[in-house]
Each structure stands twice: as structure tokens, then as C-alpha cells.
Amino acid sequence: MSVSSLPETGATTFSNPVIPGFHPDPSICRVGEDYYLACSSFEYFPGVPVFHSRDLVHWSQIGNALDRPGQLRLPLDSRSSGGIYAPTLRHHDGRFWLIVTNVSSDGNMLFTATDPAGPWSDPVRLPGVPGIDPDLAWDEDGTCWCTVAGVGQVRLDPRTGETLGPVRKVWSGSPGAKAPEAPHLYRIGDYWYLLIAEGGTERGHGVSIARSRTPDGPFEPCPANPVLTHRGIDHPVQNTGHADLVQAHDGSWWMVLLGVRPGGGTPGWHVLGRETFLVPVDWVDGWPVVGELSLRAPAPPWPLQPVPVTPVRDDFDLSVLAPHWVSLRHRPPADCTTKERPGWLTLRARGASLDDTDVTFLGRRQQHLSCRARVLVDVGEGRGGLAVRLDERHHYDIEAASEEVRVLARIGSVSTVVASRPVPPGPLVLRVETAAVDTLTDALTGPDTITLGIEEPDGTFAGLAALDGRYLSTEVAGGFTGRVLGMFASSGAVHFDWFDYEPTDR
């Protein structure tokens, strides 16, 4: 069924986040009645997931902009939370433009496409563009302005990557606020508006804006800055920032931004990473007034249309993997294939464990606070299994060998086998369940429990270990990513017949 022919839902509210799970730094553009959005991807390959929507609420992933090694170089020794930062997605002169930073190798780069689902071009490198979080905007005479975190600005020839003149500082954000970043420049009415994030991407995050009669300033700050922040207030969504504006097809204005949903006691732990939220925007006296950010919010004034969602089960019957699957830093076809054993995914080990930066891994983002993941695995003479990963130093795994399964936990510098059990040889169903905490017993209550185990022949779940989820959170591990659930091989060739993901949120 095509997107345009999907039935209307008749819904009067929608759920935030609109793209749940580890989908940070959203950048959005509109072409007619179609909306497109891109997010950061950090150390995962392929990079920069691209989404499509017809109503701003329901989004489906249509591809990844950086899906070839020539577009995305992530050295095997590059750190987690490195890689691809903060894309800006724009449509101009009949083409889509994507500018992004690879902090692990190539710096700032620019890509183009006629179809946002791909293919995207090889990179145009931008050696004269400093820093991170680059933005693109064009003025009436066709001049392209590139604005970066800091907040600096330079004129750019986007087709060659040549900078035209020096980089100039145009605004430093609010006095005393740290980390002015994520700039986006827009021409709206009589003014040029410069939207930024500031305060750091943690609990102090916020969105501020300034305006000028010309794209290069001087910029006048909004007297109501920050126009959006949840710092210091009791709200289920925190760390709000890194926003982008879009005018809808009916003339209304909206903002996409990142936020987190902390759980548990103090200080609160977010485990899904930074997610994409949607809020309405009004304009008063030439300044944007941002509406309330709610987990359940009034729907836009047009009919909502459901779109195809990420499938909960993959039987690996196709020769090409679905776009929601990601690997670590690269994906050599010989080590990750559905062609070797028809109807099965084969992973061939490189690194010996999830501690290694070059482990063979294929996963999908955890998108629900409570969920269940299951795989049918045939390890043969190899070793591998199912993991909940935040980074190399923070992951829980259930690993199968020929006649044994074991649960491993890596928390910082500590790595241990938590439990083990003998199993008969042959295919085996491994299972991981995350259960968010409903009731706080005290301030030390963690955000969720992660249970790892196997399924008995009659389908019952035999949990081998129930582990505290706080240790797979950003507040413990640091960094910018969220959990990814996936399959791995740590020795030999390991085969997976299917992977099933089921949300169990109430």
C-alpha cells in the first residue's frame, strides 16, 4: 500500500516521541505535502537514517543516506559516540542536500540526492568548514551560507565544497550559556532567524533564537530565550534541544527536537538514547512561541495517516537487509549475509566479544521502555547470541555455544559471567526482556530490569539472570547513544533463522 493511499485514523491526539528510541539531532524539510527527516547515527553503519511522513506524526524509515563504505569511513579503532554527528537535511533547487560531520575521520561532508530514499552521492568534502553541526541555507541571490556550532558562519560553494571567505562569528548564544550548537538558519518573512541549542545536551539543554535583517547578522536575541527548555522542572521529557523548524503544508509551524525520557529514581537514567519529539509553534510579534511538549498531545489540524512501521519480525528471507538494521563501524558482506544459508542470517566472527570494536554485530534500536527480543540461533561449532548494547564497556549478552548458554555482563572495567546452563545441541531460542519500573521504592530504584534467558521447548521463558538496567544508560556510561538490541558472532559462523521484537509497554 502506498503512503498516499493509507486510510486516515481519525485520531485527535498523538504520542510523543514521534520517532522513539535512539534517533537524536533531528533535521527536517518539506516538499509539497511530504516531510523528510534525518538523524545522527554515531558509530553505526549504515549512517544517517532517513524517514518519511505525510502528517509529521507517523514516520517510516525509507533508507540510510550513508550506506556505502565510500561515503562513511569509521575506523575500527574509533570510539563509541564518535562517527556521524548532527546532519542538516534541506531541499533546494530540485535536490536534497545533506551536510554532516564525521568526527572519526573525514570532518564535514556534503551529500546530494534526487530521491531522499537514495542513492545519495559520494561526499563533497568541506576542509574549510570547521567544527561540528553544519547547517545550509540559501539566500535570494543563490548564495549558500554554512553555519556551524560556535556559532560561526561562512559562505560556501556546495557543489565543490570551496569556502568563499573567512569563517565569521555571528552569535554566541545567551550570556553564560555553554555549548551554542546545532545552528539552523531560516528566512521567514522579513527576517533571517538563527535557531540554536545551548546549555549542553544534558539536563540544561535548551533552544534559543535570534534574528537579523541579513543572513550574516548582526543578530538580535529573542527576549524570551530560551524559547524551549525543561531544565529544572518536573517533566517526563528532559534534555530538550537540538531543534529544527518546518512550515507545514497548511501554513502552520512545527518544531522537531530531541529529548530523553529518564526513568527510576535519582538522578534518573535514560536508556533509549535521545529521541525525536514534535511540538507546535506560533508566531507572536515576530518571534516563535513554542507549544507544550507532551507525551500525549493534540493532533495537528489535518487527518493523521498511519504508515508502515518497522516490522517486529524478520525472517531474513530477502537478499538485502531492511534499513533499520545497523552494524558497528562497517559491514563486510562476507561477515553478514542472508545469501550463505537461504532464509537465515549468517554472521561470521571477527572480534571475540562485544568488548571489541570490530565485533560482528547486527542490531536494531530499542524503541520501547519495555520490550521483548527473541532469536532462533544455530551456532554449530561457533559461538554467538543476543545482546543489549550501549557501547563496548556497557552491554549485557546471552551467548550460546554448542552445548551451553551463558549470560555475560560488561559494566565499565568489570566483565563477568553472571549465569550459565547446559543445553542440548541444535537451534535454540534466546530471549531478552526489558521491563520498565512502574513504582519507585526509593531514590536508588533503577529505570528497568533486563532479563536474559532461553525458551524451553514448550515456549516458556527460562530467565537465567535479571540485571539492573541503569548500567546500560547514558547517565552511567556517558556518550550520546541509546541501546541497540542485536545478534552477534564471537567465534566461527553463527546462523539466525529469525529475529522478533515486541513492545510490551503498558
Q: Hey, which residues does 422 pair with through a beta bridge? A: 404
Predicted pLDDT of residue 272: 98
The C-alpha cell that represents 101 in the structure block: 560531520
Predicted pLDDT of residue 6: 44
Predicted pLDDT of residue 153: 98
Short-list 348, 422, 431, CA closest to 388: 431
Label residue 377 exposed, middle or buried (CB < 10 Å: 0-12, 13-18, 19+). Answer: buried
- Cβ count within 10 A of residue 378: 19
Assign 253 to helix, strand or coil.
strand
What lies within 8 Å, CB to CB, of 34 at 6+ separation is: 52, 53, 54
The answer, yes or no, to whether the previous bond of 332 is cis (omega within 30 of 0) is: no
Q: List residues with catalytic annotation.
A: 25, 181
The C-alpha cell that represents 214 in the structure block: 541579513
- Asked if 206 contacts 196 with a C-beta cutoff of 8 angstroms, the reply is no
pLDDT tens digits for range 452-501: 999 999 999 999 999 999 999 999 999 999 999 999 999 999 999 999 99
Domains in the chain, CATH or no CATH each: 11-298 (2.115.10.20), 313-503 (2.60.120.200)
The C-alpha cell that represents 462 in the structure block: 527460562
Predicted pLDDT of residue 308: 55
Containing 476, the helix (H) or strand (E) segment is helix 474-477
DSSP 477: H
**Positive or negative: CA dihedral 103, 104, 106, 110:** negative
- Asked if 436 contacts 447 with a C-beta cutoff of 8 angstroms, the reply is yes
Rounded Cα distance, 257 and 18, in Å: 10
What lies within 8 Å, CB to CB, of 135 at 6+ separation is: 88, 99, 146, 147, 148, 183, 184, 185
By DSSP bridging, strand 448-455 and strand 461-468 are antiparallel
pLDDT in tens, the chain (506 residues): 233 344 566 788 999 999 999 999 999 999 999 999 999 999 999 999 999 999 999 999 999 999 999 999 999 999 999 999 999 999 999 999 999 999 999 999 999 999 999 999 999 999 999 999 999 999 999 999 999 999 999 999 999 999 999 999 999 999 999 999 999 999 999 999 999 999 999 999 999 999 999 999 999 999 999 999 999 999 999 999 999 999 999 999 999 999 999 999 999 999 999 999 999 999 999 999 999 999 999 999 998 987 655 668 999 999 999 999 999 999 999 999 999 999 999 999 999 999 999 999 999 999 999 999 999 999 999 999 999 999 999 999 999 999 999 999 999 999 999 999 999 999 999 999 999 999 999 999 999 999 999 999 999 999 999 999 999 999 999 999 999 999 999 999 999 999 999 999 86
Provide the residue type at 248 as one letter.
A
Provide the residue type at 220 as one letter.
E
Label residue 356 exposed, middle or buried (CB < 10 Å: 0-12, 13-18, 19+). Answer: middle
pLDDT tens digits for range 209-258: 999 999 999 999 999 999 999 999 999 999 999 999 999 999 999 999 99
Rounded Cα distance, 211 and 192, in Å: 5
Rounded Cα distance, 49 and 67, in Å: 10
Rounded Cα distance, 405 and 428, in Å: 10
Q: Is the pTM of this model over 0.95?
A: yes
